[in-house]
Structure 1
Amino acid sequence: MSASAKDRRSLFGHLALFTALYGGYGALSPFLPLFLEQRGLSAQEIAWLLAMAMLVRMAAGPLAGRIADRWGIVGPVFTLAAALTGVAASAHLAVAGFAGLFVVALAYAVFTAPLAPFADALALSASEGRRRFDYGWVRGAGSAAFILATSLAGMVVVTVGIRGAILLGAGLFIAAGFAAWTLPTQPIAEPARPAAGRGLMIVLANRRFGLVVLAASLILGAHALHDAFAMILWSRHGITPDVAGLLWAEAVASEIVVFLVAGPWILARLEPGRAIGLAALVGALRWGISAETVSLTVLMAIQCLHGLTFALLHLACLKEIGRCVPQNLTVTALTLYGPLGLGLSSALFTLASGPLFAAYGASGLWVMSGVSLAALPVAVLLARGERSRSGERVHR
């Protein structure tokens, strides 16, 4: 097989993998809370289940990574995990009651934990060297697949019920495993070893890094009630699953636009601290409006704000981390920023969202508006530090 033919096969294989994987997430994730409610779980039980799944995923992902790296079996582990994810997703339909659903949800969390990072590792390794393809192509295809699958799943739910979305997601996860199995053999470059304990302490002692993690934890944590209960809230107010799926897809589409176009444009004009402050203000506005109305017209307008409350925030935080942390400690910093900072924050806020939604319904989103706004003073401190650094450069 010629080099160009191998390159095309590699590109198409990774496109298939990302399309199936993120299609599976798109079909299942938005509708899972609604399914759990239909199975009789209370708001507190749904929040507890989702939060525990997040914590399990945080522990299982690094463990799977160590196993795969030690034996050089990233592709096979991905294939097995994706297949088991499909089985676990389907198993939701076979159980009832909190205990049974809790066990299945934890199994689903364990199996999904390595999927996204392993897919990234496979694609990044294959795209290196001779420039077979750009990683952004396959990641963009994944985001587009998420949108399409969420929209399709909404129509499936209207037609055949919530079981259809569960089975669609399960099938797509299994397809992702098959796509990984058929990829051309590609050695995965050995990842950079994490910094020793001293490097970890250097990152933890970095004041600006701590401010970035705090701001991101508040702004992203404020998404928790919406992510866990938006589908349930909308359903109670007569918004059908197909329309709800389109609303969810609109939010992801705005995220893609910010990642690819608007975000870089904004960050060329605003320092990261100011961009983080903008995300905090937009988040407070978004959740405040969501607390007061479920008008479809208004929801369509504010779903576009997700690009600023998520994607712009992420880009700004990564840019600031790249500036304030020594280059040889970037991997350590990102390990703390992601799973331990944002993952733990999301789990805790999701856990709090259950009783909040049960007691106040949509009005509970005012609390999330306040949480997002609480990140603004942190962003101001970051912005002041940026001005100080600029002044030092001028005087030099």
Structure 2
Amino acid sequence: MASFRMSRIGPLSTFLGLYAAMYAAFGAASPFWPRYFEARGLTPEELGLLFGLGTAIRLIAGPFANRAADILGALRAILAACIVIAVMAALGLIGAQGFWLLLIVHLVQAAALAPIPTLADALAVRASVRRPGFEYGWVRGAASAAFIAGTLAAGQVVGHFDLSAIVWMHAALLAGALLGAVLVPESDTRAERAADPIGESMIGGVRELLGLATFRRVIVIAALVYGSHAMHDTFSVIRWTAAGVGTAASSLLWSEAVAAEVVVFVLVGPILLRRLGVAGAAALAAGAGILRWMVEAQTTAIWMLATVQPLHGFTFALMHLACMRLIADRVPAHLTATAQALYAVGPGLATASLVWISGRLYGAYGPRGFLIMAALCALSLPLAVRLRDRSTTSV
């Protein structure tokens, strides 16, 4: 029955619904979780422990669940199960009292949430490759727009109700994502799994992936380019404010960057990817990063900042599209979910480390620290130009 309904609705529509609900749920809650837990009586030290352990559990749970999904060939089922657990844990936060119970429920939800985006990406990328007229960028762009809408809506809700309203909103949107997860097409990898017994083991699949030179290169490029955002994300508004840029202007600059991300995902990125190929698109993204961070190192003039903010569409969205295409082309189908998890964890760890390093750089060198971020993008250029997008897993 589910497959019949999906065939009538169409895979693109079901993925759009899944991503819109999923990222709206993230946008509705993510900015407000610290306030929610603070309102429940947690001290700053307890908040640090809660969110720190939440991050750690995500780094473990994401790869584990994705690897299990590949071994079982059940990406959609595990995606749906994770969403159900996340909804139940979110609702459990409403009644939980005391630090330790709040911590346990939060860790359960963090573990359930971790695999959801990467499993969805594994399914969506696979579906986009197999179906003409289906661009992964369209659903990912819808996700970015939905995240913004969720955040804006939650801000209004919090203004009229207490903070527990965001938990209900988050849970309701995740429940909507569950419907999408049930309807999206499954990725059938039985033939590939049967032909590759090594890839069926928990460790063997990871070893096989890391044995692919192209995949290793993708992880390094993503770590360098995504990681280069660390100083901007942490210190840009601080620097702008010190230079006299008002809160409203800073908000507009950030909104401009996010809007560019959506435009590149939906419109510009797929066209550039077809015309330039993966190597050209990745090199363009790295070049955009070099230009963006060099400008931010030199000036806080509003017109200059407004000129380079749209480059976020290239440094993030276009790079992400290029990486997704390479994973679809080069990674065996039965390792797709595992590849998505490693793609998320590797650059994520690099970014976390670079946030810490950025603090030291900014403290020592001020805005000139952005030149180091430009250098990271420059380091990725030689690797980017060596990428080739052809449908083979050879290296």
Of 120-129 and 196-205, more deviation after overlay is shown by 120-129
The equivalent residue for 2:282 is: 276
Query: Alpha-carbon deviation of 1:313?
Result: 1.1
Distance 2:167 2:301 in 1: 29
Deviation of 1:308 after TM superposition, in Å, equals 0.3
Q: Distance in 1 between matches of 2:129 and 2:278?
A: 29
| SS of 2:276 mapped into structure 1 | coil
Equivalent residues in 2 for 1:284-363, closer than 5 Å: 284-290=290-296, 300-320=306-326, 325=330, 329=332, 332=335, 335-336=338-339, 338-354=340-356, 356-357=358-359, 360=362
Question: Structure 1, residues 142-194: CA drift from partner, whole Å, max 9, x if none?
Answer: 3332222233445567x469x75x74365133332256259877884554566
1:290–1:221 Cα change, 3 Å: same
Structure 2 gap segments, 5+ residues each: 391-395
Name the CA distance, whole Å, in 1 between partners of 2:19 and 2:63: 21
Q: Mind listing any 5+ residue stretches in structure 1 that lack a counterpart?
A: 390-396
List aligned pairs for 1:220-231, cutoff 5 A: 220-227=226-233
Is 1:177 aligned with 2:179?
A: no
The aligned counterpart of 2:87 is 83
Counterpart contact for 1:234–1:294, Cα < 8 Å: yes
2:23 counterpart letter in structure 1: Y
- The 2-side partners of 1:62 and 1:221 are apart by 20
1:265-291 CA distances to partner (integer Å, 9 max, x unpaired)? 333443533432332232233344446
CA displacement, residues 169-226 of structure 1 (integer Å, 9 cap, x when unaligned): 6513333225625987788455456652577656534444433321211111222344
Q: Which amino acid aligns with 2:84?
A: L
Q: Which letter does structure 2 place at the counterpart of 1:142?
A: A
Is the Cα–Cα contact under 8 Å of residues 80 and 182 in structure 2 kept in the other structure?
no
For 1:148, the equivalent position in structure 2 comes to 149
Q: Measured at CA, do residues 243 and 8 of structure 1 come closer, stay the same or move farther in structure 2, by a change above 3 Å?
A: farther
Residue identity in the other structure for 2:338: T
Tell me: CA distance 1:121–1:375, structure 2 relative to 1, closer, same or farther (3 Å): closer
Q: TM-score, normalised by structure 1?
A: 0.67
Q: Is the 8 A contact 1:14 1:138 kept in 2?
A: yes
- Aligned identity (percent) is 32
Displacement of 1:28? 3.0
Q: TM-score, normalised by structure 2?
A: 0.67
Q: Write out per-residue CA displacement over residues 302-360 of structure 1, whole angstroms, 9 at most, x where no aligned residue.
A: 4322110011112233444566x4x6x35547734x43344233234324524743884
Change (3 A) 1:122 1:351: closer
Counterpart amino acid of 2:87? Answer: A
Aligned counterparts of 2:385 and 2:6: Cα–Cα separation in 1: 50
1:130 deviates by: 11
Residue number in structure 2 paired with 1:251: 257
Shift, 1:106, TM fit:
3.7
Q: Displacement, 1:11?
A: 8.3
Contact 2:25–2:173 (Cα < 8 Å) also in 1: no
Asked if the contact 1:13/1:179 (under 8 Å) is kept, the reply is: no
What is the letter of the counterpart of residue 113 of structure 2?
A: T
1:56 is matched with which residue?
A: 57
Q: How far is 1:296 from its partner?
A: 6.3
